[in-house]
Amino acid sequence: MSRFARGAGVAFALAATISFSPGHSPGGQNEAPLRGFAPLRIADERALERKFLSIPDAAHAEANLRRLTSEPHSAGTEASHRVAGWLLEQYRSFGFDAEIVTYSAWIPLPREVKLELTAPARKPLASPEEQFPADPDTLDSHLPRASNAYSPSGEVTGEIVYVNYGSTEDYRTLDSLGVSVEGKIVMARYGRIYRGIKTRLAEQHRALGLILYSDPEDDGFAMGETYPHGPWRPASGIQRGSVLYTQLYPGDPLTPVSAASPEPTSIDPANALEAANLPRIPTMSINAQDAAAIFAVLRGQRALRNWQGALDASYHIGPGPAQVHMKIAMDYAERPIYDVIAKLHGAADYEWVLLGNHHDAWVYGAADPGSGTASMLETARALGELVRGGWKPRRTIVICHWDAEEPGLIGSTKWVEANRAEVQSKAVAYINTDVGVTGSNFAAAATPSLQELIRDAARSVNDPASGGSVYAAWRENFAHSPGARDEQSAAGRAGAGAEASPGGANANDAPVGALGAGSDFCPFLDYAGIPSIDLGFNGEYGVYHSLYDDFYWMKHFGDPSFAYHATLARILGILALRLDESDILSMDVAGYAAGISHSAADLPARAIQVGVDAAMMKPIVDASNDLAAAAARASQSLQSLAAAPLDTARLREINRAIATFDQLLLAPEGLPGRPWYEHLIFAPGSNAGYDAEVFPGVVETITRGDPAQLRQQCDALAAALRRAGARLDEIAHLAQSAQLPARTPASANGTGHN
């Protein structure tokens, strides 16, 4: 499941809510603003950050990763439990109050996975990944079998039809060519969309089963040197992964929870197919060399030019005469999973800054998720050192390591569902890293209110390669990326309005994407309405979800010096410290509102394109314009606090109002057809899975052509925007009343921990 959320096609225009004189940057070469800090506290915060930045260490991160990758540790196994126990020991040694929270979940493990070409000649397929003596970890005789979690057990025989990436558009192309997949076994290459959507679309088109393969054009020899001589996927490499329909709801299939049904619905394992997010057709993953054997005998129509990959074969669509026999036997059972929850208690324990990363892996998981885990451990060690030096957090910092992310975001989803009321009342933000380091190129996605905070943090940390700031390297890399400007222009056309918003993001800013899906931020943002971030360093990474994502790969290709692991630890810590220590939370809700208004302005044209009356969009446009006006008033009132003594009780109210802004954008009834997803501004697309859809309820209903449901979705979104506008007016009023008439030792500038 894990992958860095792309979301590059969605951006929002931002404007600062409150910022003071930036002063000197403690780490990077550029000055980095300290938004939300009273002037008299800036020097202390700078000094604290300098201490923090000096602590994370590459050698410690390397030792962490070596330990984390010492054995395969997939969810539902005792090895995963051992990793959780080791993490618990580490956090307690750092001074955190840590515990393991155990849940039970319906998790499959593979027993048998077989594939045979039965016509025009017999040939056994489903070959295992090649062992390489240069990498001893690949020689383990007890490696888990490659499989797709939540594929049902099944045995089917049928002709092959090649469906390219297996997207909605690809099936439309097949329809135009007169090719049906009904009663056939479809073969799709990985990429473009979440694999679970590939399975669901194959199921909806009445295919018997689905075979997934990694095409060298996407992550193999066409990209560069392959493992063990380079970072790309060798011909024998297999991408594992879940096919759970997380686009409907993530988490344990047998205990679904939603706003419409806040208490878990218990489904009897004997009736597991009552679970809406379980596939009904078998799915298996194979390597490129097995796919080449199928293409060698597949005929029918020649595939379109943009359906051709890099295998040494002429790609045909079929059906047949290539025919295969698939057999999959999965061992489904209730299995324990182990979340590690570690707290560094602050003076204000009623406010939490949360960080998270999962610890389960398909095999060794050096990049996914070990690089994120190793880095977050260094962040925690550094924070613990600050506490030993006399610092006490202002707010409570909670670091979480989730189990069973790979099968379907299960550990994080269960924890958020079980603790939703407390999380919604206390959480300030959630910071996620997953595939933390695969190279040197920084990338991030976030709730729009947190975009500027990420840029500021990146300005404050040095980039190991350039010696300048991470932000400067990030922006330089973006400026020279092929098609980067075109992508940003497309984002603007989609309603970002980045260049049109005064004082907000512009064409020269490093891009922060929108959060879609694919990692543990989902339950926080989509279900609980907690502002969230997902970030990491990217590079040439072709061994995703394979045996070869191990320590050898990281040491030779991903981050040989582990300098970027330490750099990621520093960025995570700066983000945590600025959220933890700020007087007024470092969130740009006013800019968020401005971005919503820009995106809403595009809805009438989008409706007209599909024959929908544009007048139906007017309540949304009007509410979004009112929201932007309220945002301007709130921003002005917050800016006026810069030079005033502040009342700490009012500050607490302001911060709670800011932190809960996204909760006003939730729909209690959820999105149509998927009530677990409640966020009305962002959700993963129903047929994309990873990328974010803006205004998902309205936009997806427009395409369905259901007038009654569209009216309901328009009303729900307009009502949410009005609630958010009222919240901004409340923030403006609180800001005006927070200014004390004169300085007093007890309350001047809000220096005491509230």
Question: SS3 sequence, 134-167?
Answer: CCHHHHCCCCCCCCCCCCCCEEEEEEEEECCCCC
212 bridge partner residues: 188, 285
Q: Is 738 in the same domain as 593?
A: yes
pLDDT of 495 above 80? no
| Antiparallel, parallel or unpaired: β 283-286 and 323-344 | unpaired
For 633, list phi and psi in degrees, rounded to 5. -65, -45
Confidence of residue 648 (pLDDT cuts 50, 70, 90): confident
Alpha carbon distance, N-terminus to C-terminus of the chain = 40
CATH number of the structural domain spanning residue 305 = 3.50.30.30
Predicted pLDDT at 149: 98
In terms of residue numbers, what domain contains 150? 121-244+279-321
Residue 116 is assigned to a structural domain of this protein: no
The string over 549-572, giving b where at least 16 C-beta atoms fall within 10 Å of a residue's C-beta and e elsewhere, is bbbbbbbbbbbeebbbbbbbbbbb
Q: Is 567 in the same domain as 519?
A: yes
> Cβ contacts of residue 481 below 8 Å, gap of 6+?
none
pLDDT in tens, 598-618: 999 999 999 998 889 999 999
Q: Is 420 in the same domain as 303?
A: no
CATH number of the structural domain spanning residue 707 = 1.20.930.40
If one counts the domains in the chain, the total is 3
Confidence of residue 23 (pLDDT cuts 50, 70, 90): very low
Confidence of residue 17 (pLDDT cuts 50, 70, 90): very low
Residue 8 is assigned to a structural domain of this protein: no
Residue 338 is assigned to a structural domain of this protein: yes
pLDDT of 489 above 50? no
Predicted pLDDT at 479: 87
Which of 327, 318, 328 lies closest to 160 in space, CA to CA? 318
Which one of 405, 406, 417, 581 is the catalytic residue? 405
Residue 249 is assigned to a structural domain of this protein: no
pLDDT in tens, 712-742: 999 999 999 999 999 999 999 999 887 766 5
Percent of the chain with pLDDT over 70: 90
Residue 95 is assigned to a structural domain of this protein: yes
Residue 24 is assigned to a structural domain of this protein: no
Structure tokens at 50: 């300098």
Q: Is 658 in the same domain as 732?
A: yes
Structure tokens at 417: 């569902």
417 counts as catalytic: no
CATH number of the structural domain spanning residue 535 = 3.40.630.10
Q: Is 576 in the same domain as 593?
A: no
Q: Is 613 in the same domain as 675?
A: yes
Average pLDDT over residues 377-383: 98
Q: Is 367 in the same domain as 313?
A: no
Structure tokens at 173: 């192309």
Residue 250, Ramachandran bin (φ over 0: left; ψ between -120 and 50: alpha; else beta): beta
**Cβ atoms 508, 476 nearer than 8 A:** no
Q: Is 293 in the same domain as 240?
A: yes
Q: Is 551 in the same domain as 644?
A: no
Residue 671 is assigned to a structural domain of this protein: yes
pLDDT in tens, 250-277: 999 999 987 777 777 889 998 988 999 9
Q: Is 352 in the same domain as 304?
A: no
Q: Is 636 in the same domain as 724?
A: yes
Q: Is 490 in the same domain as 533?
A: yes
Residue 28 is assigned to a structural domain of this protein: no
CA distance 75 to 105: 10
**Cβ atoms 252, 76 nearer than 8 A:** no
DSSP, collapsed to helix, strand or coil, labels residue 485 as helix
Radius of gyration for the alpha carbons in the chain, expressed in angstroms and rounded: 25
